[in-house]
């Protein structure tokens, strides 16, 4: 039996719970290419995975070469910086969304266009009910149960999908993503749930002489206080990070699950179009373009980090170091760690 690219997956049950044991191996063997798009009128029987890896039928374009380079960088970084063995539980698979009709698995990462990707997948799985992703309200795209998670399946079904579906992920420069999460969750007046859930705790622990109103509302957390909260050892001892600032490697486990496409927020439109072409749906749905005029970029991140001490910048970089390494992001020039 051939070992799938990225590793052999062993599935077992223990004490009534599912465990997915992934043994990561460096391998040039291609993934299993058995998926067929049966029952889809007018569709080629070639799956997205076959379209990506059957290089004998496709000239290696600049786009394909870029995707291949990212896969190779990720694989080498995993081999250099992570252990070869790891056990995944069902909760580790909750961020992986499955589209059985088109043979896709998408690991969503908050603050990396995940709302629009969920909208696109809802269009693809709606049977014609939806045609325009932007017609789907953002809050509806995040409603539990609207899209099926890989954790919903049996061990054998999980194994089969991981071997034969196109698995893709979109990532972003870690500190730009972090600043984007802070701006969205702590500086917007409508995010009262986050203010109450996290802001009040941050104010209580990391502000000297807080006012009674700040302790009750938690709606004026500074970026410096947010950073202090993240690097505080008590934070992760008490509970996992919220998904909006959790590290990508902890959400999507890219050293255990072989992602065929690693898209980047910095080249979002081109990479999204590449995924839709591989799925054969580029004429069915269009990935929404961003209309934001205040998108968080490197310059904006630099302004936020300007008031963070070198000590805390270093602690924060160490916290997100694996995401920088795995996805080939350089250390920001504005960072002062000495």
Q: Specify whether the CB–CB gap between 267 and 170 falls below 8 A.
A: no
Average pLDDT, the chain: 86
CA distance 174 to 327: 9
pLDDT at 101 over 90: yes
Closest to 101 measured CA to CA, from 164, 38, 31: 38
Task: Mark out the alpha helices in 87-147 (DSSP H runs).
Answer: 114-124, 138-141
Q: Tokens representing 313? A: 């910048």
What's the pTM value of the predicted model, to 2 decimals? 0.87
How many angstroms separate the CA atoms of 302 and 28, rounded?
39
In 3-state terms the chain splits into helix, strand, coil percentages (rounded to 5) of 45, 10, 40
SS3 32: coil
Task: Tell me what pLDDT residue 55 has.
Answer: 56
| Element of type H or E holding 22 | strand 17-23
pLDDT tens profile 16-30:
444 554 433 333 334
Q: How is residue 247 written in tokens?
A: 């590290």
Contact 87, 298 (CB under 8 A): no
Long-range contact list for 229-233, CB < 8 A, 24+ apart?
Answer: 229/198, 229/201, 229/202, 229/205, 230/316, 230/319, 231/312, 231/315, 231/316, 231/319, 232/205, 232/206
Cβ contact 33:45 at 8 Å? no
C-alpha to C-alpha distances, 142 to 81, 117, 129, 167, 203, nearest whole angstrom? 33, 11, 18, 20, 28
Pair 117, 139: CB distance under 8 Å: no
Q: What is the pLDDT of residues 238-277, one digit of tens each?
A: 999 999 999 999 999 999 999 999 999 999 999 999 999 9
pLDDT tens, 186-232? 999 999 999 999 999 999 999 999 999 999 999 999 999 999 999 99
Contacts of 60 (CB under 8 A, 6+ apart): 68
Burial class (CB in 10 A: 0-12, 13-18, 19+), 276: buried
């Amino acid at each position: 039996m051939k070992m799938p690219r990225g590793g052999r997956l062993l599935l077992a049950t223990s004490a009534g719970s599912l465990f997915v044991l992934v043994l990561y191996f460096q391998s040039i063997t291609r993934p299993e290419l058995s998926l067929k798009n049966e029952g889809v009128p007018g569709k080629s029987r070639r799956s997205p995975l076959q379209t990506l890896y059957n290089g004998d039928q496709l000239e290696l374009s600049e786009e394909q070469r870029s995707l291949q380079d990212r896969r190779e960088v990720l694989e080498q970084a995993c081999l250099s910086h992570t252990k070869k063995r790891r056990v995944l539980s069902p909760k580790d698979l909750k961020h992986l969304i499955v589209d059985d009709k088109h043979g896709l698995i998408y690991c969503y990462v908050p603050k990396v266009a995940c709302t629009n990707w969920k909208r696109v997948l809802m269009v693809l799985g709606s049977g014609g009910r939806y045609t325009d992703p932007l017609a789907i309200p953002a809050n509806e795209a995040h409603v539990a149960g609207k899209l099926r998670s890989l954790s919903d399946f049996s061990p054998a079904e999980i194994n089969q999908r991981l071997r034969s579906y196109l698995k893709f992920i979109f990532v972003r420069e870690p500190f730009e993503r972090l600043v984007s999460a802070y701006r969205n969750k702590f500086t917007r007046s409508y995010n009262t749930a986050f203010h109450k859930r996290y802001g009040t705790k941050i104010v209580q622990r990391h502000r000297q002489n807080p006012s009674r109103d700040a302790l009750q509302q938690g709606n004026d957390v500074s970026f410096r206080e947010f950073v202090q909260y993240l690097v505080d050892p008590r934070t992760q001892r008490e509970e996992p990070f919220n998904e909006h600032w959790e590290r990508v490697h902890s959400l999507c486990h890219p050293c255990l699950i072989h992602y065929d496409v690693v898209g980047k927020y910095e080249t979002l439109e081109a990479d999204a179009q590449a995924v839709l072409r591989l799925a054969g749906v580029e004429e069915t749905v269009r990935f929404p373009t961003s209309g934001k005029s205040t998108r968080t970029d490197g310059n904006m991140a630099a302004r936020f980090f300007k008031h963070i001490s070198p000590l805390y910048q270093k602690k924060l970089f160490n916290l997100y170091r694996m995401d920088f390494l795995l996805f080939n992001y350089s250390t920001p020039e504005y960072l002062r760690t000495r």
